[in-house]
Amino acid sequence: MTEQTTFLELAQLFSALEATTKRNEKKALISSFLLQLREGEVQPVLAFLTGRVFPEADARVLDVGGRTVWRLERGVKQSLLDQTPLTILNVSQLFHEVSQVRGKGSRRRKEDLIERLLSQATPLERKYLIRLILGEMRIGVVEGVALDATADAASVDSSLVRRANMLMGDLGKVAELALSQGAAGLSRVQVTLFTPVKPMLATMSYDVAEVLSAQGGRMGFEYKFDGARVQIHLQGDEVKVFSRRLTDVTRSIPEVVDVAKTQITAEAALLDGEVIAYGAEGRPLPFQDLMRRFRRIHRVDTLTETIPLKLYLFDVLHLNGEMLIDRPYQERWRLLTKICKPTLLADRIVTDRVAEAQAFLNSAVKHGHEGIVAKTLNSRYTPGTRGKRWFKIKPVETLDLVITAADWGYGRRTGWLSNYHLAARNVETGEYWSVGKTFKGLTDEEFREMTCRLQQVKTRETPHTVYVKPHIVVEVAFNEIQRSSQYPSRFALRFARITRIRVDKRPEDADTLHRLQALYEQQFKYKSRLQLDVK
C-alpha cells in the first residue's frame, strides 16, 4: 500500500461535504481530514477543496475545454482491474504536467494526459476530477470554511489564520504553516517585501449618492483606471511587480520597474496601483491592448513603444520597514504623496457633496477612464476582501440584442440551452449579425424558461447548438466593445451579461450594427486608438 493519501479518500470527503449544507459539519469534516494528511498534500488539498486545480495565486492553467473533458469522459474504459490507486499527489502532479504542455500537438498531449488520469480513476474519483477540471466543484466550500477548518485542525484562533491568509495570499501555504508551526508561526507572518499580498477589492455600487448616504460624511474619490492592478515591491535597487492574481509580471513591464526605481523616494516600499496603456494623445488605450503587454515576456521592447504604459499609484502598504495596512486610508495616502511625484498619483478628491463627486465621475469618463472608486477615509487596508470600504462606481452601457442561437450547457447546466449567441441588426441586409455570446445573468428558472422558448423557434440544430429564428430580445450589459476577427460584424462585447429579457421588444426594435459602431467610436472620444488596430 502506498504511504500517500489516496485520491479516493479525498473524493469521499468531497462527497460527504456535498451531502451537508451545514457549515459546522463541513468544517469538522475538513478539519479531521487535514489532520491525516502527509507531507506535501495540504497545499493541493486546499486548492481542490476550494474548487481550484492550482492555488489561487498560481499562474499555471490547464487550458482544457469543457467539451473536451466530457468527450474524454465518455470514452474512458471502465475496466479498473490491476490499477494502482490514484493518490492526491499523483493528481496534483498530473495537473502540473498538463499545464506545462506547450507548442504543436499540445492539445492532443493534454488530452492524452487527462484521459490517462480519468481512466485510472474510480467512478467517484472521476466525478470530482471532472468537476475540478471544469471549475465547478459545487461542494459548498468557500474560503472562509476552509480557513476555519484549518484553524480547528491546528488548534489556533481563526483570526490568526485569516490574517495570515490575507498577508500570504495562499490558503494552502497558510494551512501548511498553521499545521506545522501553529499560532507562533502564524503570528510571525507580516507584510513581507517580495511576497505578494492579496489586493484589497472594491464593491460595486450604482451611484455616488448611494455610497455617500450609506457611508455618511466625507470620502475619498479616485479615478478608476481601466487597466491592470499592480503591486510593486521595492527595496534599494531591487523591484518586483505582481499582478492582481499575484503572478510576477516584472519582466513584462520594464518601464514600470524603471519608474519604481527612479521616481519613488523610499528605501523600501510596497505600493498598490494600476497600470494602463495609453496612446498617441495621452489618452488610455482599450484594455485589450494592455493585455498584450501583460502576456508578453519575450521581445518586450518591441511593444514598449507601440503600447506604452502609465502607472497610477493609490496606496502604500509598507514603507521603510513599517507595515501600514492597519493605518487609516487617509494617512496611507498622505504617506504616499510624500514618496512620489503628483504625476504618479491617482487623480483624487475628498468630498461629502454628491454634486462634486458626480462631476468627478463625469470627468473620469471624459478622460477615458472607467469610473471612480469611493473610499472611506478611516478604512484599514484589508487584503483580499471586497468589503464596504471601497466602492466602484461606473456608468454601464446596455444594448438590446437578438438571440440567434444557443449552445447546450454542460456540467451543472446540462439540459439547458444556456450559452446565447447575441446579434445586432444589420439594417442593410435585414439579417442579425453576431457580436458575442454569454451565459451570464439569468437565474436557473430563466434558463429553463429560455430553453423552452428557444426550442419553439428552432430552425436547425447541431449536437451542440440550436439555431433559432430571430425572435427573443435581451438587454445586455457590457463593459467595452472590442474589435474582433471572430465575427463577421467585426465587433465583440467584453463582459456581456443579460440584464433583462425584453419581452416588450420585437427583433426589429433591437439595436443595430450602426449603433454598435457608433458606441465603439464613442469609446475613442476619450480613449486612444492604437495605430496597428486599423486593419
Cβ atoms of 228 and 294 within 8 Å: the answer is yes
Q: In the chain, how many H helices and how many E strands?
A: 18, 19
The residue among 23 and 229 lying less far from ligand AMP, judged by its C-beta, is 229
CB of 26 or CB of 224, closer to ligand AMP: 224
| 198 binds ligand AMP per the rule CB under 6 A | no
Residues 6+ apart with CB under 8 A from 88: 4, 5, 6, 7, 10, 37, 41, 44, 45, 48
Question: Counting contacts by CB under 6 A, is residue 274 touching ligand AMP?
Answer: yes
Residue 478 CB, shortest distance to ligand AMP, in Å, is 13
Cβ nearer to ligand AMP, comparing 174 with 373:
373
Residue 201 or 350 having the CB closest to ligand AMP: 201
User: Is residue 380 involved in binding ligand AMP (CB under 6 A)?
Assistant: no
Cβ proximity to ligand AMP, 198 vs 502, nearer residue = 198
**478 interacts with ligand AMP by CB under 6 A:** no
DSSP for residue 450: H
202 belongs to the binding site for ligand AMP (CB under 6 A): yes
Compose the 243-272 pattern: x for residues touching ligand AMP by CB under 6 A, - for all others: -x----------------------------
- If the CB atoms of residues 9 and 248 are measured against ligand AMP, the closer one turns out to be 248
Q: Tell me how far, at minimum, the Cβ of 366 lies from ligand AMP, in Å.
A: 16
The bridge status of strand 390-393 relative to strand 203-205 is parallel
Active site residue 224: yes
373 binds ligand AMP (CB under 6 A): yes
List Cα–Cα distances, 94 to 91, 97, 117, in angstroms.
5, 5, 8
Task: Work out which of 224, 233, 296, 437 binds ligand AMP, going by CB under 6 A.
Answer: 224
**Sign of the C-alpha dihedral, residues 472, 478, 481, 482?**
negative
The CB-of-271 to ligand AMP minimum distance in angstroms stands at 12
- Write the interaction track for ligand AMP spanning residues 406-445; mark x where CB under 6 A is met and - where it is not: ----------------------------------------
Which one among 23, 109, 116, 229 touches ligand AMP, defined by CB under 6 A? 229
Residues numbered 291 to 350 that lie near ligand AMP (CB under 6 A) are 314, 346
Choose between 109 and 244: whose C-beta lies nearer to ligand AMP: 244
Check binding of 480 to ligand AMP (CB under 6 A): no
Long-range contacts of 105-108 (CB under 8 A, 24+ apart): 107/68
Residue 225 binding ligand AMP, by CB under 6 A: yes
Radius of gyration of the chain (CA): 25
DSSP, residue by residue, 474-488: EEEEESEEEE-SSST
Residues 6+ apart with CB under 8 A from 158: 147, 148, 151, 152
Residue 241 as a binder of ligand AMP (CB under 6 A): the answer is no
- CB 228, min distance to ligand AMP, A: 7
Give a three-class secondary structure readout of 338-390: HHECHHHECCEEEECCHHHHHHHHHHHHHCCCCEEEEEECCCCCCCCCCCCCE
The span from the CA of 266 to the CA of 321, in Å, is 10
Site size toward ligand AMP, by CB under 6 A: 14
DSSP symbols for 148-211: HHHHHHHTS-HHHHHHHHHHH--HHHHHHHHHHHHHHHHHT----TTS--PPP--EEES-HHHH
Sequence-distant (6+) residues with CB within 8 A of 222 are 314, 346, 347, 348, 372, 373, 375
Which residues 6+ apart lie within 8 Å of 3 measured at CB?
38
Q: How far is the CB of 463 from ligand AMP (least distance, A)?
A: 36
Residue 287 interacts with ligand AMP (CB under 6 A)?
no
Q: Shortest gap between Cβ of 533 and ligand AMP (angstroms)?
A: 23
Residue choice 392, 469, 471, 505 for contact with ligand AMP (CB under 6 A) = 392
Q: Nearer to ligand AMP by C-beta: 116 or 229?
A: 229
Determine the interface stretch with ligand AMP among 63-71, 223-231, 292-300, 446-454 (rule: CB under 6 A).
223-231
| 222 contacts ligand AMP (rule: CB under 6 A) | yes
**CA-wise closest residue to 308 among 285, 288, 325, 331:** 285
Of 26, 173, 198, 224, catalytic? 224
Q: Give catalytic residues, as residue numbers.
A: 224
Instruction: Report the interface residues with ligand AMP, using CB under 6 A.
Output: 199, 201-202, 222-225, 229, 244, 274, 314, 346, 373, 392
